[in-house]
Every structure is written in C-alpha cells, then in structure tokens.
Structure 1
Amino acid sequence: MPQLDISPWPMVILSMIAALFYFIQLKLLNFTFYNTPLSKPMKTQKHKTTWELKWTKIYLPLSMSQ
C-alpha cells in the first residue's frame, strides 16, 4: 500500500490561514465602526416652583391647642 505524501500539507495550511486573514481584513476594512457618543456634562437647572415664589402659612394640626 503506498504511503500518503504529506510534505505539501504545511504549505497548504499556512496559505489557507494567510488567505483567511487577508479576507477577514478586507471585510473589516469595509465595515464602519461608529464612535460611542460622548456623554455631555449635565447642567443642573433649578426650576422655580410655586411654593418658592410665595410665602405659605404653616398651620398647626387640629388636635393641638393654640
């Protein structure tokens, strides 16, 4: 039975790996990576509420005597 000649296999495997690397690089070259949006510093806005605009009277509970 003749023996299988495996001398060209390393060259075939290396060329296959090189070709796959080349094709992957070509695919990634056409792919657009979007930058992550930078978070803007939030400005704290103080909203004026109705109870800050006027003086409010605080009433005592009904159970307490005056």
Structure 2
Amino acid sequence: MPQLDTSTWSVTILSMVLALFIVFQLKVSKYKYPETPTPKSFSLSKKLMPWEEKWTKICSPLLLPQR
C-alpha cells in the first residue's frame, strides 16, 4: 500500500485559512454601520390594548358586602 504524501497539507491548510479570512473580511466590510447611534425616544402615553376597549366590569360575589 503506498504511503500518503502529507508534505503539502500545511501549505493547503494555511492557504485555505488565509482565503477564508479574506472572504470574511470582504463580507464584513460591505456592511454600513451608523456613525453615531441615536437613542430611541420612548413615548410615555399609555396605549390601549384591544381588550381594554371592550372591557366590562365583572363583580365577584365574594367581593360584595355581606347582607
């Protein structure tokens, strides 16, 4: 059985890692990041939920005064 020649593996692995690094750098450099991030302003007004508009009061018999 012939022996496997492993002398070129180091060059192949190093060139693959270098190529992956370059491709990754090119992908990341395409993104546009904001120069100065601005904080979002939160409104303090209460928003009504759909169920709050249709809400009906329910009186529990246990909360009614005793007769």
> What band does the TM-score fall into relative to the shorter chain?
0.5 to 0.7
Unaligned runs of 5+ in 1: 40-66
The percentage of aligned residue pairs carrying the same residue is 44
Count, aligned residues? 40
Hey, what does 1:24 align to over in structure 2? 24
Aligned partners of 1:9 and 1:37: how far apart in 2?
50
Aligned partners of 1:37 and 1:9: how far apart in 2?
50
User: Residues 10-54 of structure 1, C-alpha deviation per residue, up to 9 Å, x if partnerless?
Assistant: 000000000000000001111112242157xxxxxxxxxxxxxxx
AA partner of residue 37 (structure 2)? T
- Once superposed, which parts of structure 1, at least 4 consecutive aligned residues long, lie more than 3 Å away? none
Task: State the TM-score, normalized to the length of structure 2.
Answer: 0.52
Task: State the TM-score, normalized to the length of structure 1.
Answer: 0.52
Task: State whether structure 2 residue 37 is matched by structure 1 residue 36.
Answer: yes
Aligned partners of 1:33 and 1:20: how far apart in 2?
23
Q: Aligned-pair RMSD on alpha carbons?
A: 1.9
Work out which of the two has the higher radius of gyration on C-alpha atoms and give 1 or 2: 1
